[in-house]
Amino acid sequence: MLIHPAPPPTRRAEPLTHVLGDGQVLTSQTDLARYASDASPYRLMPRAVAMPRDSDDVAAVFRFASEHGRRVVLRAAGTSLNGQAQGEDILLDVRRNFEHVSVEDEARIVRAGPGVVLARANVRLFRHDRILGPDPSSAVAACIGGVVANNASGAACGITDNSYRTVESVRAVLPTGTVVDTAAPDADDRLAAAEPELVAELCTIRDELRADTELADRVRSKFAIKNTNGYRLDAFLDEDRPSRILRGLLVGSQGTLGFLDEIVMRTVPRGRMQATAFLRFPDLASAAGAVPALVDLGARAVELMDNLSIRCTRTIEGAPAWMEEIGEDDAALLVECRASDETDLEVFEKAANELLSGVPGCRGTFTRDPEVAHGYWAVRKGLLTALGANRPSGTILLGEDVCVAPRRVAEAIVAISEALQRHGFDSSVAGHAAAGNLHFSMVFDPAAAEDVERYRRCLDEIVDLVLDRFDGSLKGEHGTGRNMAPYVRREWGTRLLEYMRRIKDAVDPAGILGDGVIFTDDPLAHVRDLKTIPSIDPVVDDCIECGFCEPVCPSGDVTTTPRQRIVLGREIARRGTDDGGLRQEHDYAAVDTCAGDSSCAVACPVGIDTGKAMKKYRAARNTPTAERVALALARRWTAVEACTRILLGAARLVSRTVGDRPLQLITRFARRLGGNDLVPEWLPETPGPAKPVRGSGPRPDDAAAVYFTACVNRIFGTPRDRDDTTVTRAVLSLAERAGLQLWLPPDVAGSCCSTVWHSKGFTDAHRHAANDLLERIWEWSDGGRLPVVVDAASCTLGVLNDIPPVLTGVNRERHAALTVVDALSWARSELLPRLSVRRRVERAVLHPTCAMQQLGLSADLSTLTAAISDEVVEPLEATCCGFAGDRGFLHREVTEGATRRESAEVREADADLHLSGNRPCELGLEHATGMPYESALVALDRATRSD
């Protein structure tokens, strides 16, 4: 059951609930606060957050708003940098229930809902050597609806492969509630019947604009470079039919003209081969000067980074080594050529190398290694986040992007940099130099009036510079948004702005959508509603709320995402003691339901681990009594294991005798008394107890490794209706079959990697268990001589990463001398080459856990699975399952929400085996999917038996 805290009694009832229903309208303090911020520097608190289920719900909200004088803002991923996804009335979440996607016409077409993450759509296309044209740096989080609505582009798409050029058709809900499908053969007739005044106005504007050749030429010239400021007036020049004109206007309309219910996009060739170089130049001028020639040679992307950009990103994993030794003036170009033919790639590389050899001080070589290239792009795409992480405490980072003719990019860089310096901004200038698209950031304190005024004056100067000197665009790819709305008239002039206003009035006669996003009469609108950034925890203070972490968060569709947890913490800090009950709601929404799996840290370009911060909250809540009880249990873990096995045995007996219902009722009652975050709930998939593990006696002289079987594998037996092969038995059998001596210590019972205590914030118990295990492992491994094999990925991660901070000095030194390896990796490298696979299956589904992702074990799981299966299926939507040790027993709604998309793929796969490498995750996946998950090690043992 999904739980949302009740709204405070002082809040009046929201009439919108009568339209959508209580479960589809959020009004709690937590829900409103977490939606009040996005990746932009603005903060606007909505009155209600609507969760429409389909286009009919969206149309109903639009009609309600029109009838009651309300305002609506659409929000998908919330990665917009300019405030397009924020408002103070109804905020419509159009991500969660709009994630359908299909690949059609031999991957030449993608049909998608607005909530599909761009990167996930591209994963479906990679196998066909195709991708979607737009490639913003936020692709890992940005949704297709937002990308199209902002006409976002990126490093390689320029003005030819952006949304405006590649969107074939849309099905849209207009602000009046009318639904139009521009792909329908009779789309114009239907539109004319439903919206005759709109069609008449579109035709009138078309004819007027075409008749005025001066204005028409001006429109064409404005879109000869990237431009997302205002509406796409060139739609009137490119299309004749009203429905096609409307399609063009909806692209880049930033949620002010309608809701894109379904988007059909043409794909573009990916280029299965790439040559990529991260080039170092002695100064910005020489780097910028090389751009036009590289583009002429065929470079698909040429990304420019100035000195500050390099310094801020050089710690990102994947950065080239030369970044560590840059001089005061050095600059860089990230260059990539993509091709489907090796000859074309060789021609480019040869010509580019000849060109660059003539540039004094240029260093760097091209690589075709996809892993190296991926690291280079991680550096570039992490730039904004890295800049934010380096800002002073309490300041905000405001990112701007302008565009000039590509031939003038070097001149524009220098001019913009000088303007920033004149106003005291030590800001980076970087961007998609091949398209003349430049990005710069401005850091200032929104609570200091003089700082805000300095920003305003600087922006005024840059606006004049870009428009008057370079005849450029004020927004190349980020959309107008709230921070450029006061300057739309300045760029377009009165006559063309009037056309834009006529479009808005015709499509949205009640003015319900996107108030203040493109049009404003307030010259200071861009400096209002700026969000302050109070310090809440050094672990998360660097966060700029970009949202890159959200797609990988297991609790995102249930309570909050990592970004929203940080947003809530900052909101509590802003409110102080008068928080309106937000702190109380925060416990469940942010702290209790956080898996603490650190997936967010992997997704974050600067490694912010929100789970670590939530564990600190848990530690702060723990009472001294609770700490003492936890420590006592940690010291008696052998007895805890035994008692747990007895309870599991009794529970399984009850389950077999009278079913699971009595156990569920008993545990739910106990949870009411003891608390949902302490007392587990019975799940029907819970296995019975394992037989007590017996050690192998004294360590043999020929031992190849020490076997530390995790306590989860010592406690939990095999799932129901499965043979009695436990992970422990499988690993020992595999080693014996491979002819290797794997030693299981006789005193392994009672040892624990301490993850259970670390995740709950029990500091003393964590410290005790960690040091106790380290001392055992040191003795078992003969002082580090033998490698230690761990049979649960989360425990391997715990031993490697979580226990060192709480070890004593001596044990920390010992830890550094140990070799700890996960059983999956050991099986792949040491066992598999010595084994004969005797039984294979047709198809196996695997699930790489979050711990495997962090440890780099996913390839090991794939290799083991491929050894026993003809086809290996890894769900495209496989992310953290949210079970997180025991959190799935405490808050099963998190696992159910986290695996919703993956479960659909798993059920469709019709596989013979469902494999992973972590017992709690397997239990959670079985609960969510209904499929029998087990360890790949157990499956390998079964496949290599001689009987």
Tens of pLDDT, residue by residue over 158-176, are 999 999 999 999 999 999 9
Mean pLDDT of the chain: 94
- The region of weakest confidence among 95-99, 280-284, 676-680 is 676-680
| pLDDT at 689 (0 to 100) | 92
Amino acid type, 98: F
Q: What residues pair up with 57 in beta bridges, in sequence order? A: none
Residue 147, CA distances (Å) to 396, 479, 610 in order: 24, 10, 26
Residue 815: phi, psi to the nearest 5?
A: -55, -40
Residue 712, CA distances (Å) to 273, 693, 726, 919, 933 in order: 44, 12, 11, 7, 15
Which is nearest to 539 in space by CA: 638, 599, 633, 610? 610
- Two structure tokens written together for 810: 């001596």
Predicted confidence band of residue 439 (pLDDT cuts 50, 70, 90): very high
Predicted confidence band of residue 8 (pLDDT cuts 50, 70, 90): very low
CA distance 628 to 616: 17
Which is nearest to 73 in space by CA: 511, 504, 562? 511
| pLDDT at 4 (0 to 100) | 35
Which is nearest to 683 in space by CA: 645, 655, 717, 641? 655
As annotated, the residues of the chain forming the CATH 3.30.70.3450 domain(s) are 271-390
Q: What residues pair up with 92 in beta bridges, in sequence order? A: 50, 74
CA distance 87 to 679: 40
| pLDDT at 84 (0 to 100) | 95
CA distance 19 to 64: 8
| pLDDT at 5 (0 to 100) | 38
Q: How far is CA 287 from the centre of its chain?
A: 32
What average pLDDT does range 822-826 have in this prediction? 97
Q: Looking at 278-382, list the stretches that DSSP marks H as alpha helix, in order from N- to C-terminal side.
A: 284-289, 291-297, 307-313, 342-357, 370-381
Quick: pLDDT tens for 606-627: 999 999 999 999 999 999 999 9
Amino acid type, 296: D
Architecture field, domain 18-269+478-513: 2-Layer Sandwich (3.30)
Which is nearest to 709 in space by CA: 792, 641, 826? 792
Which is nearest to 396 in space by CA: 138, 36, 42? 42
Secondary structure class of 278 (helix, strand, coil): strand
pTM exceeds 0.75 for this model: yes
CA distance 172 to 177: 9
Diameter over CA atoms, the chain: 94
What average pLDDT does range 733-762 have in this prediction? 94
Model confidence at 7: pLDDT above 50: no
Quick: pLDDT tens for 782-804: 999 999 999 999 999 999 999 99
As annotated, the residues of the chain forming the CATH 3.30.465.10 domain(s) are 18-269+478-513
Model confidence at 232: pLDDT above 50: yes
| pLDDT at 237 (0 to 100) | 98
Quick: pLDDT tens for 463-490: 999 999 999 999 999 999 999 999 999 9
Quick: pLDDT tens for 356-368: 999 999 999 999 9
Percent of the chain past pLDDT 70, that is, above it, reads 99
CATH number of the structural domain 271-390: 3.30.70.3450
Quick: pLDDT tens for 529-570: 999 999 999 999 999 999 999 999 999 999 999 999 999 999
What average pLDDT does range 884-895 have in this prediction? 90
CA distance 432 to 137: 11
- Other CB atoms within 10 A of residue 29 CB: 26
| pLDDT at 10 (0 to 100) | 41
- Other CB atoms within 10 A of residue 246 CB: 28
| pLDDT at 12 (0 to 100) | 59
Residue 933: phi, psi to the nearest 5?
A: -80, 145
Contact 606, 389 (CB under 8 A): yes
| pLDDT at 272 (0 to 100) | 85
CA distance 729 to 330: 58
What average pLDDT does range 381-406 have in this prediction? 93
